[in-house]
Structure 1
Amino acid sequence: GLWRPAWGMVLGAGILATLTVEVSAGSEVSVSAAKLTLLAMVLLGALNAKKIFRNPPPLLVPWLAYLGASAVSGVLAGMPMGAVWSVGEAGVIFLVFAAAAGIIRDDASRRSLSWVLALAGALVAALWLLQVGIGSWAGVQLPLAVRVGVEKGPSFYRGSVFAHQNFLAAFFLLTGGIFFALLPRSGKGGKNFLMAGGIVTWAILFMLGSIGALVGLCGAVLLGAILFGNRWQKYAARIGLVSLIAIVAATTLTSSDWNKSLRLTPDSVQVRVYAIRLGLRSWMAHPVFGSGPGSFEKEVLRLEKKTSSKLPYFRNDKNTSLSAHNVYLRNFVERGAAGGLAFVFLILSYLYGIFRYSGADGRRIPWIFIGLAAFALSGLFEEVFSYSSLHALFWTIGGAYLGIDAGERTGNTG
């Protein structure tokens, strides 16, 4: 990175995608390889600050609005350690985004980033197949994520290096888009690898059973076809989506074990509905600036202690809290309407910038848009932004395009 800053950012993205080593220092704080890598990327950005801040970073106003609302919310909540950690992590993600936008400014570096993430996606998929295969055939649990001191212990549940299937699915949403984005400018051998990689990674989503990933992928493909496709492609996208819904519906209605056929459980729906109910109650108590960053789990326990009703069967452990399972809900609860709306505005501005991107040759990036949009949509059902590796990759991928020099783009991307 000191020699070639762009290579350092690309290497950092590759590490984020393939290495999970986490040491917990309590229920709210942990130190991981991802966080150390993020700090290294921020340091790389600081060493190149003159180049990065030659012009204002892209999306500066939406970012400042979100960070400002987060800081005010934290101050009003008394700035407990959870709030400090949450606001600090958001600030680090912004700095990584600014570094990516300021350092990865040429097409060769962007292609290097895409190829590194594509190879990382192939490696993670191969490790997942190995993990699941050994578990099914030999009954041997193969841990691929080292987690020390985490309350629930090591996670072996079908997550490859991401330790959980929902996070793995979110990663595949991003890499699937990258596989397909690289196709047009690759040779025959490369095309075969990329096509297989894109199909396999997105096909694995149906085996993982992540509600957010499935909804995000379907919604993003339809949105991408409407925004980028010609008339026949738009028709084909709608027909394909309807067919997919019909297949899923037929599978669930004709199978007595519908939850096993899709690898979903009724609990996953009930838990999310319950989290929304409690989240809305908490938000109504603190509508403007919320209960403070990082406080959702504490709010769940507080509201449950106040209720006289019997808790649902999946809440039999009163000492363990409940995740929001929705990144947008979490932002509204913790940061109030100010922070929640700022976060939505930030995400929409980001996706709009990717949609408007056009290279010097007029080339657009529909598959990058689809991958990022699918990831953002999956946040309605999964807390994909709570995993620092995924959060940083989401912003690094788009930052590489939004930060190009004005002379290289034909449309204003923010």
Structure 2
Amino acid sequence: MFSIIQDKGSTNHVKLHPKNKSLMKESKNINVVYGIRTANVTVSFSDSINEHQLLISDNILKLLFIPTTSSYDIRFHGGDMIIGPFIGILASVTNTQLLELVPSLNSYVKYYDKIGGTLIAFSLDGIDQKKQTIKGLIYLPRKKNWEIGSFPFPSSVFSIVETSLSENWITFQQNMKQFHEILGKRIFNFPNFDKWTMFQMLEKSMHENLPNTQLYIKPLDVKQMLKRHQSIYIKPINGRLGKYVCKLSLTSDRISVHFGRRRKRIKTFKTWRKLSKFLTYKLQSGQYLIQQSIDLFTYDHRIIDFRMMMVKNEIGKWENIGIIARYGPSNSIVSNITAGGKAELGVKTLQSVFHLSSREIKSLFVNMNAMALRALSIVEANGYHCGNIGFDVGIDKSGKIWIIEMNNQNPDHYIAVKANKKELLYQAKLKNILYAKKLAMEKTKDKS
């Protein structure tokens, strides 16, 4: 990496040590690129600086807003010299929320020495699309803290903000679309897809691993699905954390509706007419899924499923950082940790609860990983640029693997902390940043 030295004695000039001549074969005019801004400079070589320094004219530093407080990589692409990475993290809706997130943001920079460059975190409120500037926080590696400032647009952006269940969804979509117009494929975790879209994308090629699912339009849809399977789930297509989920069970004389994440509640109906009235009142057409209930493995009256922490790495390849088992609250219809469940390493659960051998666990993990990669390839072939996915799978009592969900807005890798494996959280977030770095250092006009 290179440290940047301010040069007040020149204009439109960049100087490198002769040992770096392999980066470019001769002195010439090139465009220096930092974020989305560029400036034409003359490059020369001199042994008055060392091989890890970059001497840049003061007017260029001011024009491009390059902080001299960080170390940078440089890449040459044709007539461009990219200085970076310059990475933006869209972290919150408001600036007030952004400041509250600083402890969480620190987990992205724990291994800053492996990243380098400029990292900024910002909110939807901090974006000025007309001026192409951002008001937010910049990470200062020497002080190891975040400082408020105003910045030009970065080279790459990834989103960890969650707006699908709020009034900010439209604002989020508008801003991300504008970023996409400027940065192209150098933004990720956008566009987002919901549970129904996921099912539609995977149904043709992976139907054997998907519960029978359909979109709720009217109460008759529930009746038909319940007669077919006797036990079904109804889930909001954009729901998270097990909220607003209910389970319906059909017996010879009644229909039971189970709901409640922590405290299980049951409502019973003896006629379809009464159930239909209840569904009409509770559900909005087109906003819920009706899904076959899978007979998942349970332990001590707790549903068990598994979270696969799937992230893209520094070369753009998917990595499975870890597999965490999730135990739902006792007698709950969901497995979410926020609903009162618990977590532990998947291998431990498969040994102690599923009673699998080391060989069987290795084979199972290979199959789970292959299934996740296949599903992700289908999703990305449909135009979704992912880099950070919480891939949820379940194993039924016959040993079959089922795809439950692919969380793509901001999968909560904090589950690793709940499983007493905090280092997995840091590794996942480091990979997020390294993938953002890869994108930031690519050719600026690559918008495919």
| TM-score, with structure 1 as normaliser | 0.25
Instruction: Choose between structure 1 and 2 for higher RCO, CA contacts under 8 A separated by at least 6 residues.
Output: 1
| TM-score, with structure 2 as normaliser | 0.23
- The structure that is strand-richer by fraction is 2
State the structure with more CA Rg: 2
